[in-house]
Structure 1
């Protein structure tokens, strides 16, 4: 199929995605097909790469809204150039670095610090007296970057 426009069936075959998944990604605004004169969906060949990017990004934990943000940097209607991918890679790399840092903190503190600062009430009195971590906000404050020394 040498045409620049491809059918949803061909796109599903090339990406390994179900047609229903492709329609879902369309509904989420991640790809933008058009209709031909017969009313059939048509996609750009570049959507093969877009969908591949979506699948990879989801596998490493990015949400669809985050992925949508990355894809906004890519041009619509044409195959992205190496420069286009370099631009999107820069932002993607920054997000990955942040996730890696968070995962490393989680791994390193897994046996002693999750959530408010500990896994046991006896330790809580030592690491998080009077629940000072709660003053920093909701969620696992110490894993999000706050430290017991900075809790006020």
Structure 2
């Protein structure tokens, strides 16, 4: 790890302010191993300036519906102790692309069916395009939203 100067680090409050999250959220991300701090001689947390991008990535990934374990796995591929390069972020982007595409497809299917029937098999919609005569779906096992999710 390269030598870290005081210009390379920011306080927890600055990191929180720059990313729009609460200080408690920064501590939580650190506790989960998503970001790492260094300590001053007075035991105060200091974060690398590049952690602004890491926290921003966490926020975007959470909005996309990724679990913290998935976010952690992606962040673990980034180098420690230096600002990630464009190539580093592109590698993450490419690894996540299929997962994001799957979520987009699910959301598109759900949006298309939401006004009609979401495939629950309840038989409550009078003109359901997915009418489940005689509860055929129920005979196949748990129904739930299987017609949308599958």
TM-score, normalised via structure 2 length:
0.80
Shift of 1:140: 2.3
Structure 1 pair 132–121 and aligned structure 2 pair: CA distance change class (3 A): farther
Shift of 1:2: 6.8
Matched-pair contact (CA < 8 Å) for 2:50–2:82: yes
Matched-pair contact (CA < 8 Å) for 1:116–1:131: no
Structure 2 residue corresponding to 1:129, chosen from 101, 120, 136: 136
Structure 1 pair 105–130 and aligned structure 2 pair: CA distance change class (3 A): closer
Greater RCO (Cα-Cα under 8 Å, separation 6 or more): 2
3-state DSSP of counterpart to 1:77: coil
Whether 1:51 aligns to 2:55 is yes
Structure 2 residue corresponding to 1:140, chosen from 137, 140, 145: 145
Separation in 2, partners of 1:115, 1:32:
44
For 1:27, the equivalent position in structure 2 comes to: 31
Deviating beyond 4 angstroms after TM superposition, the runs of 4 or more aligned structure 1 residues are: none
Coordinate RMSD, CA, aligned: 2.5
Matches within 5 A, 1:12-91: 12-91=16-95
Structure 1 pair 42–141 and aligned structure 2 pair: CA distance change class (3 A): same
Whether 1:96 aligns to 2:100 is yes
Matches within 5 A, 1:110-129: 110-117=114-121, 120=124, 123-125=131-133, 129=136
Matched-pair contact (CA < 8 Å) for 2:118–2:148: yes
Shift of 1:84: 0.3
TM-score, normalised via structure 1 length:
0.79
